[in-house]
Amino acid sequence: MRLFLFVFKRNLLILNFLDFIIATACFVRFFLPYFFDEDLKMETRFARITTPVPGPRSIELMQRKKAAMPHGAISNLPVFIKKADDFLLTDVDGNVFIDFGAGIGVLNAGHSNPKILAAITRQVQSFTHTCFHMAMYEPYIALTEKLNNLTPGDSPKKTYLVNSGAEANENAVKIARRFTGKSAIVAFEHAFHGRTLLALSLTGKVSPYRQGFGPMAPEIYHLPSPHRSNSGFLQPPESTNYDAGFIAEQLKTVVPETDIAAFIVEPVLGEGGILPCDQKYLDALFDFSRSRGILIIADEIQTGWGRTGKLFAMEHFGYEPDILVTAKSIASGLPLSAVVGKAEIMDSVQPGGIGSTYSGNPVACAAALAGIDFIVENDLAGKAGKIGSITREKLASLVENHKNIVDVRGIGAMNGIEFVVDKTSGKPGTEIVRAVQKICWENGLVVLKSGSHGHVIRMLPPLTISQDGLREGLEIFTAAVQKL
Ligand SMILES: Cc1ncc(COP(=O)(O)O)c(C=O)c1O
């Protein structure tokens, strides 16, 4: 017995000693840097990072994710969120981040907006689903009326609701084909229109979206991007005269113009690198299309609801598209999207030709009605303009002063910072952007990336962000790029 007690106590001692060694190693590896690295200790009012990023609880959940989910479904920020409030995200380890991603442009009206939450709660307490195609409800109608009134242009319009951006784009294509009786759709290189197979076929970026998923849907064609960057990363094909003849010339080796039902265009490239369409190119495109009975579909999924400084980005260019597709911030995080089109185009589809079980789910409609009112009443488009000027003013000098930054650009609160490996080669700074993102996370700022080479940091903060919150986020970003 005495021998047993002796062995037991010794083992206990050894175990305690091992625990002690492991705890000390963790402390030195993860926590000590925060006490000694002056840059990491930047005074922050909103962001609060108290563990390594990801913290222990997030790491645990990440292991469960790895085991339970396919590798193809990734997440950018390596933490799990417990709570979100206005422009702040709190993770399961208690770290607080300033959110410059807004769920990829979905939370224009801010996370957990009380007015929207109240509308959602009211609707949930009445009913959550009937399937509109089986039994109808008023919020759907009220929302379509609102969309018909708020989208650009004076033409009488009609709206159909679906669930995601991709699904809305698919419906826009079907409707354009039905109305024109033609089948070809022309999209643009570098564009992003979604991941379902027809939407993916429209998307003009190969990796990682298209690899191994072919064949793509037929009768989809791509022209070079009509978007223009100061850095030279993207330029529309050069011409001294952007006119209908120029577009006809572009199509000569692509598809007969008589086969084209519609062009689909993002007025400002989101996923493609934050680049507005060249105005003269767009003029030529509208001129060409109008004279040939071809429709223009504006994909305003990312640019809508005040993001660019106007309610819809097409307002910057002075055009009414034939069909406008909107999603993301339409319902502040609930799955909803809409196809808004000129009435005669939308009415060309036979009864039952468009439909979906969850089309215009009543809870999502309630969120959208409250969210849109909030966006309009609080002039979030105007606020986006201010966010944009502060952002670009604060970051502009980096183009001259930072070895890896070649462009700071944007429109409203949709801003991008383009990175290169070095300014002589101009090679896209894909790895550098990854590093910047990581340093930002570690210091409490969530930023997205974009661009076909993943070499552009994308900033899409909620439009409700306070000036102090915005400035703090920009300071974290500036400090992060100084650490490269
Ligand atoms: C311009 C644009 N179109 C389409 C989509 C696809 O939307 P969803 O992911 O809701 O299908 C996105 C999403 O990022 C987008 O930015």
Q: What is the pLDDT of residues 415-438, one digit of tens each?
A: 999 999 999 999 999 999 999 999
Arithmetic mean of pLDDT, 231-236: 88
Atom of ligand 1 nearest to the CA of 166: 11
pLDDT of 219 > 50? The answer is yes
CA distances, 263 to each of 74, 107, 221, 270, 399 (Å): 31, 28, 9, 18, 34
- Closest among 249, 193, 247, 239 to 220, alpha carbons compared: 193
381 vs 374: CA distance, rounded Å: 11
- Closest among 325, 253, 262 to 292, alpha carbons compared: 262
Handedness of CA 460, 463, 465, 468 (dihedral sign): positive
Q: Is 266's C-beta closer than 6 angstroms to any atom of ligand 1?
A: yes
Token output for 23: 């705890």
Q: Hey, which of 167, 190, 193 would you mutate to test ligand 1's pocket, going by the most ligand atoms within 8 Å of its Cβ? A: 193
Ligand 1 centroid to Cα of residue 169, in Å, is 9
**pLDDT tens digits along 10-46:** 555 555 655 655 555 545 554 545 444 444 456 789 9
Ligand 1 centroid to Cα of residue 165, in Å, is 5
Ligand 1 centroid to Cα of residue 5, in Å, is 66
Those residues whose C-beta lies under 8 Å from the C-beta of residue 400, and which sit 6 or more positions away, are none
Atom of ligand 1 nearest to the CA of 302: 16
| Residue, of 151 and 16, whose pLDDT is higher | 151
DSSP state of 272: T
24-28, 144-148, 151-155, 187-191, range with the lowest pLDDT: 24-28
Ligand 1 centroid to Cα of residue 101, in Å, is 14
361 vs 366: CA distance, rounded Å: 9
213 vs 16: CA distance, rounded Å: 53
**pLDDT tens digits along 333-376:** 999 999 999 999 999 999 999 999 999 999 999 999 999 999 99
| Claim: this prediction has a pTM higher than 0.95 | no
Q: Which residue puts its alpha carbon closest to atom 16 of ligand 1? A: 302
Q: Which of 34-48, 232-246, 275-289 has the highest mean pLDDT?
A: 275-289
Cα dihedral angle (308, 312, 314, 315), rounded to 10 degrees?
-90
Mean confidence (pLDDT) of the chain: 93
**pLDDT tens digits along 104-141:** 999 999 999 999 999 999 999 999 999 999 999 999 99
Res 21: pLDDT: 59
pLDDT of 150 > 50? The answer is yes
Q: Is 299's C-beta closer than 6 angstroms to any atom of ligand 1?
A: yes
User: What b-and-e string marks burial along 171-209, b requiring 16 or more CB atoms within 10 Å of the CB?
Assistant: bbbbbbbbbbebebbbbbbbbbbbebebbbbbbbbeeeb
| Residue, of 241 and 111, whose pLDDT is higher | 111
Q: Which residue puts its alpha carbon closest to atom 10 of ligand 1? A: 165
Q: Is 257's C-beta closer than 6 angstroms to any atom of ligand 1?
A: no
- Could you tell me the domains of the chain? 33-105+380-482 (3.90.1150.10), 114-377 (3.40.640.10)
Res 183: pLDDT: 98
Determine phi and psi for 40, rounding to 5 degrees: -70, -20
Estimate to the nearest angstrom the gap between the alpha carbon of 448 and the chain centroid.
8
Res 20: pLDDT: 59
Q: Which residue puts its alpha carbon closest to atom 6 of ligand 1? A: 194
Q: What percent of the chain has pLDDT over 90?
A: 88
**pLDDT tens digits along 56-111:** 999 999 999 999 999 999 998 999 999 999 999 999 999 999 999 999 999 999 99
Ligand 1 centroid to Cα of residue 297, in Å, is 14
**pLDDT tens digits along 445-483:** 999 999 999 999 999 999 999 999 999 999 999 999 999
Q: Is 302's C-beta closer than 6 angstroms to any atom of ligand 1?
A: yes
Ligand 1 centroid to Cα of residue 47, in Å, is 28
- Closest among 309, 312, 368 to 337, alpha carbons compared: 368
Residue 233: pLDDT band (50, 70, 90) is: confident
Q: Is 104's C-beta closer than 6 angstroms to any atom of ligand 1?
A: yes
Atom of ligand 1 nearest to the CA of 337: 10
SS3 call for 263: strand
SS (H, E, C) 275-295: EEECHHHHHHHHHHHHCCCCE
End-to-end CA distance of the chain: 62
Res 36: pLDDT: 45
Res 44: pLDDT: 85
